[in-house]
Amino acid sequence: MRKSFVARNPSVLIFLALLGVFTLAVTVLGEGLGVGLISTSFVKTLGKTLCLCLVAIAMDLVWGYTGILSLGHFAFFGLGGYMIGMWLMYARTELIVAESLAQAEIPPTPDEIRDAIGTQIFGVVGGSDFPAVWTFAHSLPIQLALVVLVPGLLALVFGWLAFRSRVTGVYLSILTQAMTLALALYLFQNDSGLRGNNGLSGLQNLPGAADVPQSMVSIWFFWASAAALAIGYVVAAFVVSGKFGSVIRGIRDDEARVRFLGYSVEGYKLFVFTLTAVIAGIAGALYYPQAGIINPAEIAPIASIYLAVWVAIGGRGRLYGAVIGAAFVSLLSTWFTGGQVPDLPLGIYTVKWVDWWLVLLGFSFVLVTLFAPKGIGGLFDLLTGRHGPDRHGAALGPDQGSLREKEAEQ
Partner 1 sequence: MRILLAALSFLVLFTLPAAAQDSPIQKLLQQHRDLIEQSSRRTIAPAIDALRDSGLPAAQVVLEKWQGKELWQRKADGLFFFAERIDAQTYRLVDIATGNETATAAKDEIEQLKPNSGIRGMIGAALVQFQLTDPDPARRADALNAISRDAEPAHLAALRASIGAETDPDLRARKERLERLLTISYDEDPAARIAAIQSFAGDLGVDARAALNPLVATTRAVVSGNPPAAENLARVLEPGSEALPKDEAYALLVAADLAPPRINRDDIRAALAANIQNGRVGSVPVAQLDTDAARERAYAELAEAGIVPATATEAQVAEALASHTFYERYAETDPEITAAAAAALDDIALKVGLNQAADLTLDALSLASIYFLAAIGLAVTFGVMGVINMAHGEFIMMGAYTGYVVQQLVPDYTLSILIALPLAFAITFGAGVAMERLVIRWLYNRPLETLLATFGISIALQQLAKNIFGTQARPLTSPDWLDGALVINDVVSISYIRIAIFVLALIFLGLFLFIMRKTRLGLEVRAVTQNPRMAASMGINPERINMLAFGLGSGIAGVAGVAIGLYAKVTSELGQDYIVQSFMTVVVGGVGNIWGTLLGATLIGFLQKGIEWLNPSNTLAAQTYMILFIILFIQFRPRGIIALRGRAAGD
Q: Does 171 bind partner 1 (CB under 8 A)?
A: yes
Q: Does 165 bind partner 1 (CB under 8 A)?
A: yes
Q: Does 100 bind partner 1 (CB under 8 A)?
A: no
Strand pairing partners for 344?
351
Residues 305 to 324 in contact with partner 1, rule: CB under 8 A: 305, 308-309, 312
Q: Does 370 bind partner 1 (CB under 8 A)?
A: yes
- Indicate the residue among 110 and 389 with the shorter CB distance to partner 1: 110
Q: Which of 36, 355, 393, 409: binder of partner 1 (CB under 8 A)? A: 355
Chain CA centroid to CA 220, Å: 19
Residues 193 to 252 in contact with partner 1, rule: CB under 8 A: none
Give which of 381, 364, 330 is closest to 54, Cα–Cα: 330
Q: Does 111 bind partner 1 (CB under 8 A)?
A: yes
Residues 22 to 81 in contact with partner 1, rule: CB under 8 A: 63, 67, 69
Give which of 326, 295, 324, 296 is closest to 309, Cα–Cα: 326
E strands within 247-402? 293-294, 344-345, 350-351
> Among 3-11, 156-164, 271-279, 287-295, which window interacts with partner 1 (CB under 8 A)?
156-164
How far, in Å, CA of 349 to CA of 332, rounded? 23
Q: Mapping DSSP to helix (H, G, I), strand (E, B) and coil, where does residue 404 land?
A: strand
Question: What dihedral do alpha carbons 289, 292, 295, 297 form, nearest 10°?
Answer: -100
> Among 84-92, 170-178, 241-249, 332-340, which window interacts with partner 1 (CB under 8 A)?
170-178
Residues in contact with partner 1, counted by CB under 8 A, come to a total of 58
How far, in Å, CA of 266 to CA of 240, rounded? 17
Q: Does 167 bind partner 1 (CB under 8 A)?
A: yes
- Indicate the residue among 49 and 177 with the shorter CB distance to partner 1: 177
Q: Does 295 bind partner 1 (CB under 8 A)?
A: no
Shortest distance (Å) from residue 180 CB to partner 1:
9
Q: Which of 4, 35, 110, 348: binder of partner 1 (CB under 8 A)? A: 110
Q: Does 301 bind partner 1 (CB under 8 A)?
A: yes
Note every long-range contact of 30-35, with CB atoms under 8 Å and residues 24 or more positions apart, other chains counting. Answer: 30/215, 30/218, 30/219, 30/222, 31/215, 32/213, 32/215, 32/216, 32/217, 32/218, 32/219, 33/216, 33/219
Q: Which of 16, 29, 95, 181: binder of partner 1 (CB under 8 A)? A: 181
How far, in Å, CA of 360 to CA of 341, rounded? 14
Q: What are phi and psi of 350, to 5 degrees?
A: -105, 125
Q: Does 155 bind partner 1 (CB under 8 A)?
A: no
Residues that bind partner 1 (CB under 8 A): 63, 67, 69, 104-111, 158, 161-162, 164-167, 169-171, 173-175, 177-179, 181-182, 185-186, 188-189, 191, 301-302, 305, 308-309, 312, 355-356, 358-359, 361-366, 369-370, 373, 400-401, 403-404, 407
